[in-house]
Amino acid sequence: MEYFQIYDSAFHALIGDAPQLDLLLEKDYPFAHEAGVFIPEKNELFITSNQLVDGEGHRRVEISKIILTDDGNVQSEEISCPEVEMANGGVNYGQDKMLICAQGSGSAPSGLYLVDITPPYKTELVVAGFHGRPFNAVNDVVVHSDGSIWFTDPCYGFDGGFKSKPRLPNQVYRYKPTTRGIRAMADGFGRPNGICFSPDEKTVYVTDTDWTRGTGDIDDTRASTIYAFDVREYAGEPFLTNRRLFAFCDTGIPDGIKCDMDGNVYSGCGDGVYVWSPGGTLLGKICVQGGVANFCFGSRGGLFLLNEKRLWRAQLAPTVRGALLKL
């Protein structure tokens, strides 16, 4: 139980009688950083690495497929998607595709890419800018049940020195594939990062990770915060209203964010995964040394935690289901 810290008695029901934290895979480089796209039909997991630098100083991000076999073995293979430069967040899209965020580079655009989940991993650019102005460094993405695609666009590419000066604010966007229409939905962030919907899709949660900028620029007075917005309809279109501070992370930043089917909010933070009630009460933590940038739900209370050089699986109560796949 040392991995599971309880701050509110309601956390007992979430972790169950026998919570576990198991190390699935370890490497000597940060292969497990972002995305976390679970494919239940294949029992596979797609993840993106942190920045990797070769001997000549060239930067890249690796996309890996993690294969979870029936006998308990874990296999890993790098997949080739050269168009998706500096990949970051991702999400399931239909039965046979996923959406991957590309932060881009000096020569390649930042944007959203559709990627097949089977070889040869065919890739298609979905959107790469706001009416002619290029995105900064698209970070994380979620899909609404109406088919619209919501994503965050902080300027971490410029912070990190691999993108040019931003031409857009740090904002949240909504893209409508049927019309190819794009709207800015929320602004006023330091660095908008993770994004998810509540299970009833009446609330959007956005993490602001302004606490850290680029490499080593940290300021404890900047946002390390989750904001909540109500989704309201006006003239037949959604708007985000009632912006409010939902939670503040005490260690590091709240990066990736997900909800379970009961509306509890999970976020990868500087010392593990935090869990809050829908009302913003910290229920507990799944503690992992070095923190968790992102994570995703598997099935029946399973959570895959991306811990840079390590991939973990936390087992909560089997009644816990992630709101994204409802497994």
Give the per-residue pLDDT at 1.
45
Name the helix (H) or strand (E) containing 11. Answer: helix 11-15
| Cut 0.95: pTM above it | yes
CA gap 228, 232 in Å, rounded: 13
Q: What domains are defined for the chain?
A: 4-315 (2.120.10.30)
pLDDT of 255 reads 97
What is d(CA 251, CA 253) in angstroms, rounded to the nearest whole number? Answer: 6
In eight-state DSSP terms, residue 135 is P
Write the pLDDT tens digit of every residue in 76-96: 999 999 999 999 999 999 999
What is the number of other CB atoms lying within 10 angstroms of the CB of residue 318? 12
- Provide the β-strand partners of residue 226: 207, 247
> One-letter amino acid identity for 107?
S
* Tokens 């959203």 belong to residue: 112
Please identify every stretch of the chain with a pLDDT value under 70, giving residue numbers as ranges: 1
Q: What are 175's strand-pairing partners?
A: 149, 182
